[in-house]
Each structure stands twice: as C-alpha cells, then as structure tokens.
C-alpha cells in the first residue's frame, strides 16, 4: 500500500510536469501559427492583384 509521502511526491512531480508540457505545447502552437502567417500572409494587408 502506498504511503501519503509517496502520494505527495507523485503529486509534486505532476505539478512540476504539467506546466512544462503546457508551455511547450502553447509555444509549438504559436510558432506554427507565426510560420504559417509568414508564408501565407493575411489577404487584408497583402491583397491579391
């Protein structure tokens, strides 16, 4: 049976891992969005001839 100390350790590991994964996923998403907008700019500011 797991002790309360083990549960606290696992909970602290989860809290330290979840923000890291959140920051990485948001960074990847916004980087993808920025590259896509660099390659295919908005037609409002770059209208087709």
18-28 pLDDT per residue, tens: 888 899 899 99
pTM over 0.85: no
Average pLDDT over residues 15-38: 91
Which is more confidently placed, 36 or 2? 36
Report CA dihedral (27, 32, 37, 39) to the nearest 10 degrees: 140
């Amino acid at each position: 049976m797991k002790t309360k100390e083990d549960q606290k350790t696992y909970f602290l590991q989860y809290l330290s891992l979840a923000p890291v994964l959140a920051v990485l996923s948001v960074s990847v998403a916004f980087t993808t969005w920025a590259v896509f907008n660099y390659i295919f700019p908005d037609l409002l500011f770059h209208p087709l001839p």
